[in-house]
Structure 1
Amino acid sequence: MRRFAALILSLVALAWSVGAAAEVRMSFHSFNGSVLFGRFPHAFVVLEGTLDKTGQPIDENYGFTAKTISTRLLNEPVEHAVEAEEDKYIRETNRHFTVTLTDAQYWQVRAEVAKWRDAPGKYYDLDKRNCIHFVGAMARIAGLRVEYPQDMLRRPKKWLNHITLLNPRLGAEPI
Structure 2
Amino acid sequence: MKPAFAHLLRIAGLAAMLLLASLSVTARAEVSVTFYSHDFGKNFPHAFFVAKGETADGRQVDTAFGFTAVNVSPGILFGSVDGHVKAPSASYIASSNPHFTVRIKDRQYRELLAVVDKWQNIPQKSYSLNKRNCVHFINDAIKTLDLKTNLKTANWKKPRSFMEEVMRLNPFLK
Class of the TM-score when normalised by the shorter of the 2 chains: 0.7 to 0.9
Q: State the distance in 2 between where 1:40 and 1:85 align.
A: 8
Q: Is the contact between residue 72 and residue 78 of structure 1 (CA under 8 Å) also seen in structure 2?
A: yes
Q: State the distance in 1 between where 2:94 and 2:117 align.
A: 25
Residue 90 of structure 1 is aligned with which of 93, 96, 101?
A: 93
Q: State the distance in 2 between where 1:121 and 1:11 align.
A: 55
Q: Please list the CA deviations of residues 20-69 of structure 1 after superposition, one character each: whole Å capped at 9, or x if unmatched.
A: 2x1111110111133xxx225700011111111x1111111100000111
Matches within 5 A, 1:61-76: 61-76=64-79
Q: State the distance in 2 between where 1:90 and 1:3 align.
A: 52
Per the TM alignment, residue 117 of structure 1 is displaced from its structure 2 partner at its CA by 0.9
Q: State the distance in 1 between where 2:153 and 2:78 align.
A: 16
Residue 8 of structure 1 is aligned with which of 17, 22, 25?
A: 17
Residue 110 of structure 2 is aligned with which of 107, 110, 126?
A: 107
Q: State the distance in 2 between where 1:89 and 1:121 align.
A: 25
Residue 6 of structure 2 corresponds to which residue in structure 1?
none
Residue 32 of structure 1 is aligned with which of 16, 39, 56?
A: 39
Q: Is the contact between residue 147 and residue 170 of structure 2 (CA under 8 Å) also seen in structure 1?
A: yes
TM-score (norm 1): 0.85
Q: State the distance in 2 between where 1:84 and 1:41 align.
A: 9
Residue 50 of structure 1 corresponds to which residue in structure 2?
54
TM-score (norm 2): 0.86
Question: Which ranges of 4 or more aligned residues in structure 1 deviate by more than 4 Å?
Answer: none
Name the aligned partner's letter for residue 145 of structure 2: A
Query: What's the Cα RMSD here?
Result: 1.8
Q: State the distance in 1 between where 2:171 and 2:153 align.
A: 22
Matches within 5 A, 1:79-158: 79-158=82-161
C-alpha change, 1:3 and 1:87, in structure 2 (3 Å) is farther
Identity %: 35
Name the aligned partner's letter for residue 33 of structure 1: F
Q: State the distance in 1 between where 2:71 and 2:161 align.
A: 24
Q: Please list the CA deviations of residues 54-96 of structure 1 after superposition, one character each: whole Å capped at 9, or x if unmatched.
A: 1111111100000111111112011101000111221111111
Aligned length: 165
Per the TM alignment, residue 104 of structure 1 is displaced from its structure 2 partner at its CA by 1.4
Q: Which moved more, 1:24-33 or 1:40-49?
A: 40-49
Per the TM alignment, residue 114 of structure 1 is displaced from its structure 2 partner at its CA by 1.1
Residue 19 of structure 1 corresponds to which residue in structure 2?
27
Give 1 or 2 for the bigger CA radius of gyration.
Answer: 2
Structure 1: gaps (5+ residues)? none
